[in-house]
Structure 1
């Protein structure tokens, strides 16, 4: 039995503050009674091979986090890390979403843009479709993927791109194939955060960009990383009512913890994918240790920062009474 099959998956059921936990061998949750199609089997096999490569490239303390944010596989992610990110208000980082797809898509597009913008858009379009399939067609990824593909398709046709129209188109396409996705919590969170970024873009990000452009070139470069932080703030503000209603919790440190996330997540994703890509090539697989080391160090630093935020006594407030929800919501609006 290889090392991947020796890993275990923790399945949890959270209800009224109680955890039910069960341990089962990895791969047990795949229904072998239903014959998989050719493409499904191919991507399932490819995903397992990539996981094995990542186990050989990254440190054992970071491979669980890296496999979760790159492939959506959380089997090697410990309960301790999951709890730390939950208390720090960073649980969304552990699940592949529009943030991950947009970072990877933008990096790929910028690397190829100097070659030819339309060809770069075509490559990014194919990559987005491939990545959506590789990660298991998660609903939040599908929503972000459809929006990204609409953007790249518009660039191919030299047409304007409208974010709100893309959100509506993504929802319509998903509901046509499966109307039940409208009640999916992960999709709702993804949509609300995206709408928050779109709606609050002008009053928050737009004003910051106008202020940044008035500064000297050196100051503009220093302030540029804050743009990603403001995007995260817009998403978190929009998600506050959803967190209060669905999860009955409120993270007091989540907005602040998003500062290192905005700075470190692009670095972690880029070097993690670069190291994985090199590791998959037998001839040059030995060179994967350098980008893998950068991804490991960045992951350890990010985890320690989140652990520091999670260590605060009131990092995560459990809201079970209506007056507490109203108080937190009113305070957030006033701030």
Structure 2
């Protein structure tokens, strides 16, 4: 047995040498990235020396270290051109604000996903200077440029761009998408917000510029044809475009969520699956023209399709791999799936080694590797289910028996591939998204064939459009729209099943604090906080829908939270409560709490809380309304029970502006008090003071009133907090943190935590101390009871 096992282990590398070399490339890239190797003449010399034994006597054992060192050197050069670029390091050493700069270089259209972003361009810089005057200095860099409003990039060449240069803002909340790492892995190091732009001179052929524009024109033509006759089917037309071109934004985030939560997002957006399906459609449609001609046509078409749809890692991988597999018969070689997969990975990593760190690359190759290794084995184990009786003569097999056997064989094949794909994606889905989707095994059995049929209909529509058969195009598109509608229904049905998807807590930390709270950093004047006591979890406001998708939902996924015990909604401001309906559905929220003034009688029907009242009746078991002196029990169990006491509004506090009637709460977390002011302005603050409301607290949390004087020194004096946490939005101007508040806190030595600087603020409550930590920089403060020594910075 051991001898057989040893022979299999040693035979595997000989059968799949290119896959082994791709693993060497992966290992080399990981080593260079982890230890931050710097390119040097010594490293170049070592690389050349590792190739000498291979040149003298080629073998797999000699190629492995040579490929490893070569890819490590290549990745080190790319790291130096991005993460360690001198311009980026210089910007990081300057104060955290945009700086005036002028760039000279080539502008290229900016491709976002599968579409061109007309408001953005990529500048391949050759020269730059600081400020508007002075000499230009040589500089090689790639910078993202935000173009002036209405300006169109319509010709290639060298441009001079003046504007404000900065590095991207980092993630400001746990679990949030990291734009800095994404930009660097994509090859650009900074952002320039353009003030003025001028054309300097034409440069070369501008081949890449013209190719990108040709791809955009092709997308526009395909979009026009696939949506012809679907003017009243906007949602379903968008689904067709998402599956054919990867334009998922047009379909809306609700539909995308349904496919994501059912584990079938790969059929909703362009992936390797679509490239392979397209290749099969072309091959079977034109197989009568001769095998060699059709193979060449398929290779060209899959590469063009991958380029038109944005050259995604999965599509690029599928284009390379299908081409390698198809070229095997042309050179009288039998291609191996694992070898072809390895060759595709090796070519893509040589082209761009940063792709190794993207979830798309990892999922694409991980899933296909699992299918290649496990699907055939599973199908062999399931063969007894669909095979006919081996002792039954073929002549005696009836037609229904043949059909039933074939149907079971295809179903078995789909199930085995689906199980293998799910198993291959499982560790990566857990690692990247902390999510498992068991329902995906079944959902893919139905939705993968449906997506293939959708692609067939799309290709048929385009062929009819090329033949100018408009009546046929409209008919096929109508049929495709019905199919898209059915796919959306199936995805939503699977996503809504119990335990269809589940979030895991992978933080692997020690025992949690008895209670904790987090104030989120939200842009554009929004506000939201999370509070936990024991096993009870609440949100204080939800933020806007955009904030929910980009900040709160990633945070809840990061924390492994699948269920919230309730929502407290402060006031009818879309930036505070705009995502309520989505949060209630996604987190199975049983209770909603607002002030007794919401929904405001004079708000329009489309206002956030007015719309919510059409789904849930106020003053019901789900929606409860509160006024002064009401106390909400958020987490009743010791050692730190949590209650929320309503300080405002009262029955007389009826004001037109939502900010002036927002809830003000005193959170009692064991012995600690947290004053939660929300967007309180002059009216609210003066009312609290005139009523002699007890305001003394340990922590004061505030957001900025949109159009009123706020942050009154007398209110801060009455509250006497040990720490103040405040939002500070640079736009609009009215929502900036007041300077008088800064001066007051500085004069009285009260730490003022500006969310725009610190990022979100986390608080861990113990019976004898509170640990406060900023997300940005990790600065921390330790609060002791007010009667003790007060605030201690760590």
Query: Which TM-score band applies after superposition, normalised by the shorter structure?
Result: 0.7 to 0.9
Asked whether 1:261 is paired with 2:435, we answer no
1:27-46 matches, within 5 Å, as: 37-46=209-218
CA distance in 2, matches of 1:209, 1:98: 27
Q: Does the aligned pair in 2 maintain the 1:121–1:155 contact within 8 Å?
A: no
Using a 3 Å threshold, how does the CA distance of structure 1 residues 88 and 280 change in structure 2: closer, same or farther?
same
The 1-side partners of 2:492 and 2:363 are apart by 24
Question: Could you give the per-residue CA deviations for residues 223-271 of structure 1, whole angstroms, max 9, x where no partner exists?
Answer: 2431233212211111111111110011131111112113312111101
Partner of 1:24: none
Partner of 1:329: none
Q: 1:46 to 1:143 in 2, by over 3 A?
A: same
Equivalent residue, structure 2, for 1:320:
505
1:165 to 334, 339, 357: 339
The answer for the alignment partner of 1:25 in structure 2 is none
- Which residue number corresponds to residue 220 of structure 1? 405
Partners of 1:117 and 1:186 lie apart in 2 by 33
Tell me which residue corresponds to 1:84.
Answer: 258
Shift of 1:61: 2.2
Q: CA deviation at 1:142?
A: 0.4
CA distance in 1, matches of 2:502, 2:239: 25
Work out the CA distance in 2 between the residues paired with 1:41 and 1:223.
Answer: 47
How many Å separate the matches in 2 of 1:105 and 1:224? 23
Q: Classify the secondary structure of the residue corresponding to 2:502.
A: strand
Q: CA deviation at 1:288?
A: 0.8
Distance in structure 2 (CA, Å) of the matches to 1:208 and 1:119: 37
1:304 corresponds, among 478, 489, 492, to 489
- 1:124 is the counterpart of 2:309: no
What is the CA–CA distance in structure 1 between the aligned matches of 2:474 and 2:260, rounded to whole Å? 30
1:56-108: CA deviation from partner (whole Å, max 9, x where unpaired): 24432211111111112223121110111122111222221121111121122
Distance of 2:409 and 2:465 partners within structure 1: 32
With over 3 angstroms needed to count, the CA separation of the structure-2 counterparts of 1:163 and 1:217, relative to structure 1, is: same
Match of 1:112 in 2: 286
- Alpha carbons 2:415, 2:442 under 8 Å: kept: no
Alpha carbons 1:229, 1:262 under 8 Å: kept: no
1:18-73 deviations in whole A, cap 9, x for unaligned?
799xxxxxxxxxx9989752222111111122212223244322111111111122
Alignment-derived partner of residue 51 in structure 1: 223
SS in 1 for 2:306: helix
Q: Quickly say closer, same or farther: Cα 1:138–1:244, change in 2 above 3 A.
A: same
Distance 2:387 2:229 in 1: 41
Residue of 225, 229, 233 corresponding to 2:419? 233
TM-score (norm 2): 0.36
Q: How do 1:48-197 residues align onto structure 2 when only pairs under 5 Å count?
A: 48-58=220-230, 59-197=233-371
| Distance in 2 (alpha carbons) for counterparts of 1:65 and 1:142 | 22
- Structure with bigger strand share is 2
Task: Normalising by structure 1, report the TM-score.
Answer: 0.81
Return 167-176 or 293-302, whichever deviates more. 293-302
| Structure 2: distance between partners of 1:154 and 1:19 | 41
CA-CA distance at 1:285 after TM superposition: 2.0
CA contact (8 A) 1:57 1:276 kept: no
SS at match of 1:202: helix
Counterparts in 2 of 1:126 and 1:19: CA distance versus 1, 3 Å? closer
Does structure 1 conserve the Cα–Cα contact (< 8 Å) formed by 2:243 and 2:451?
Answer: no
Distance 1:252 1:228, change over 3 A: closer
Unaligned runs of 5+ in 1: 6-12, 21-30, 324-335
Q: CA deviation at 1:195?
A: 0.3
Query: After superposition, what is the alpha-carbon deviation per residue over 1:294-313, rounded to whole angstroms, capped at 9, x for unaligned?
Result: 21111111111111111124
Number of residue equivalences: 303
Task: Give the direction of change, closer, same or farther, for the CA distance of 1:19–1:202 in structure 2 (3 Å limit).
Answer: closer
Bigger radius of gyration among the two: 2
Shift of 1:173: 0.7
